[in-house]
Amino acid sequence: MKPIYILNGPNLNRLGKREPEIYGHTTLDEVESMCRKASGHYPVVFRQSGYEGQLVEWIHEAIDEPAAAIIINPAGLTFSSIPILDALKMFPGPIIELHISNIHRREDIYHKSLVSRIATAVIAGLGPTGYRTAVEAALNLIENTNH
């Protein structure tokens, strides 16, 4: 069974401690457990890195595996990373861009996502439970071949 890759960018390792008024008190480990519970019989590859190149390499891994879907919260790299965008363009399956906060209600610097240019869908503002929603949406997209 092809896995669902869930990739997280810089500072998300500090969820639960980091600006809880924005990102909540749920830790990344708790988010991972939530995703594994929601994925049904699909394996989950769940990773976090503060480094752009590492995220690009994991996207290449998902391409080569191949993964059934990619869910990605690129965090601050969302707005600046051409390499992440270029890597995602090579992935043939569904891509869900995920943000815990509603980036469109925040400072202007958070408004222009590069990843949205390639994402199948974008989820933003649901808090940490947005990850569960993203997994559920990915399962639907995987089952419907035309994502």
Residues found near ligand DHK in the complex (CB under 6 A): 11, 73, 75-76, 99-101, 103, 110
Distance between first and last Cα of the chain: 18
- Of 5, 23, 42, 131, the catalytic one is 23
Kindly tell me which of 19 and 65 has the beta carbon lying closer to ligand DHK.
Answer: 19
DSSP class of residue 94? Answer: -
Q: Is 99 a catalytic residue?
A: yes
| Helix (DSSP H) and strand (DSSP E) numbers for the chain | 5, 5
- Of 5, 42, 99, 131, the catalytic one is 99
Distance in Å, CB of 66 to ligand DHK, minimum: 26
Largest CA distance in the chain: 41
40 close to 114: Cβ distance less than 8 angstroms: no
Q: Is 25 a catalytic residue?
A: no
Kindly tell me which of 73 and 144 has the beta carbon lying closer to ligand DHK.
Answer: 73
Point out the residues that are catalytic.
23, 99
